[in-house]
Amino acid sequence: MKTLLKTVLIALRNLNRQKRRTFLLGGAIAFGITIVTLINGFAGSFVENVSENFSNILAGHIFVQGVEKTADGKEQWRIADDDILLEIVAEQEMPVTFVSKRSEFTGALIFQGESIRQTVVGVDWDEERYLRERLVLLDGEFENMLATNDRGERNGIILTETIAEALNVELGERIIARMRTIAGQQNVGEFVLAGVSYDPGLFGQLSAYADLSYVNELLTLQPKQYQTLGIFLTDLGLIDQEADQYFEELSRRVNVFERNTEEEGENPVEALFEQADEETWSGVRYRLFTLNDVLSEVDEIVRLLNGAALVILLVLFVIIMVGITNTFRMIMYERVKEIGTMRALGMQRERVQILFLLEAFLLAMGGVLFGLVVAGIIMLIMSQIFLGLDSAIFILLKNGYFTFAVRPLQVAMNAGIVAGLTILAAFIPSRKAALMPPVDALRA
């Protein structure tokens, strides 16, 4: 122990002896660790942020949809009576923030000869206050959505900037919508542009909002009917557990489509939807899916990000390793006389090697610590910058801010890889130093 402490002391002082070299090598290690920690930290919060933002867009964490088979064998997508669905929420004492009811159609929006395909989501604006806070309107006001036309219909629509520009439509102008009813018949409606929202890019398709009552009317749903019940929980971490309990109770009371029927690599929601076509059934059946099912590919993205971080770490450190090997070879030649002296005084070969390897290890750990501190500072600074709710990368942010979640195990693994590679890089020069006959070393 005493010997090891003295060896550590010598190794530390040797590192301090060549400050510039230590700083450069340690700096290179720190740089690698900083980059990798930032990627890991970003990937760590990626799932949570994407899930949270998606839950805002989709208005829920757990979703229930009703599908009805008509006498002529056609499927109609609607929840005609939600008493049981809401009863279960209450009975299970689910930790719910709110429950959303939505209907939607995908059809053509037409304005002065221009036509564009768009999904229009029917929202109960009186209930979904969060969406009103969340949507960034570049033009128009939410109050316009509550206005009725001369037939008493709330036919306002909010389009994204891109769609509005593509249609060349101005606030207050009328847009024709062509879609199919739930029975599959062609229908036409008329919307008034009430607001223009910021285009969140990838999710623009989901971002045309109208009033639930008018969308229901166009779909020929009854006033109290809708298509999707969204249950918004208080905590993302409870999704699977609550969904399982809800599904268990739901399947006891009504006919349901089975969950988790997907094959390897298949999206669970797609598999759930395929059941309606593949199975022979009649009456009303319900399907339940969760945000985690919708975002099952996000885990794959996180795995890819972490994989990329690992590749970056390895590539960076293979380059750094070459530098370390050369440096330690140089150090060996510089200290050859010192090695000879230590050997002459009675230091065993392995102790000489340990001294060199310890130096490499301490250098690596110093670099790792410095890199982590730098990464921490960068994360702290980045997480203080408000990028806005209308940021192009809003889906990756939490309320407009970057967030990072670094797992200690990942940090330990990265530190282990760096330490291992650094020691490996120093191994050959240290072995050479240890095997050098003392007389040759002293004569050098």
351 vs 334: CA distance, rounded Å: 18
By the rule CB under 8 A, 129 interacts with another protein: no
Nearer to another protein, 5 or 90 (CB): 5
By the rule CB under 8 A, 166 interacts with another protein: no
Nearer to another protein, 13 or 117 (CB): 13
Nearer to another protein, 307 or 437 (CB): 437
Residue 344 beta carbon to another protein: minimum distance, rounded to whole angstroms: 5
97 vs 235: CA distance, rounded Å: 9
By the rule CB under 8 A, 363 interacts with another protein: no
- In the list 20, 345, 384, 408, the residue contacting another protein (rule: CB under 8 A) is 345
Nearer to another protein, 99 or 352 (CB): 352
For tokens 């330490």, the residue is 419
Between strands 137-140 and 208-211, the pairing is unpaired
By the rule CB under 8 A, 337 interacts with another protein: yes
By the rule CB under 8 A, 260 interacts with another protein: no
121 vs 209: CA distance, rounded Å: 5
Taking phi first (over 0 means left), then psi (-120 to 50 degrees means alpha), and beta for anything else, what does residue 135 get?
A: beta
288 vs 66: CA distance, rounded Å: 9
Nearer to another protein, 142 or 328 (CB): 328
By the rule CB under 8 A, 437 interacts with another protein: yes
**Short-list 263, 298, 271, CA closest to 287:** 271
Nearer to another protein, 215 or 352 (CB): 352
Nearer to another protein, 318 or 344 (CB): 344
Nearer to another protein, 21 or 349 (CB): 349
By the rule CB under 8 A, 431 interacts with another protein: no
By the rule CB under 8 A, 341 interacts with another protein: yes
By the rule CB under 8 A, 444 interacts with another protein: no
- 260 close to 272: Cβ distance less than 8 angstroms: no
**Short-list 74, 75, 81, 76, CA closest to 101:** 81
Residue 8 beta carbon to another protein: minimum distance, rounded to whole angstroms: 12
Nearer to another protein, 17 or 407 (CB): 17
By the rule CB under 8 A, 202 interacts with another protein: no
Number of residues that bind another protein (CB under 8 A): 25
Question: How many residues are listed for the chain in this entry?
Answer: 444
- In the list 48, 338, 399, 432, the residue contacting another protein (rule: CB under 8 A) is 338
- In the list 3, 97, 205, 261, the residue contacting another protein (rule: CB under 8 A) is 3
- In the list 272, 342, 395, 411, the residue contacting another protein (rule: CB under 8 A) is 342
* Neighbouring residues of 444: CB distance < 8 A, sequence distance ≥ 6: 333, 336, 337, 340
For the segment 73-102, give every residue that binds another protein (CB under 8 A). none
103 vs 310: CA distance, rounded Å: 43
Residue 13 beta carbon to another protein: minimum distance, rounded to whole angstroms: 4
Exposure pattern of 299-336 as b/e (b: 16+ CB <10 Å)?
A: eeebeebbeebbeebeebbeebbeebbebbbebbeebb
319 vs 315: CA distance, rounded Å: 6
Burial class of 124 by CB neighbour count within 10 A (0 to 12, 13 to 18, 19+)? middle
By the rule CB under 8 A, 127 interacts with another protein: no
- 374 close to 30: Cβ distance less than 8 angstroms: yes
- Kindly write out the interface string for residues 13-52 of this chain, putting x where it contacts another protein by CB under 8 A and - elsewhere: xx-xx-----------------------------------
Burial class of 275 by CB neighbour count within 10 A (0 to 12, 13 to 18, 19+)? middle
Nearer to another protein, 345 or 409 (CB): 345
Residues that bind another protein (CB under 8 A): 2-3, 6, 10, 13-14, 16-17, 337-338, 340-349, 351, 437-439, 442
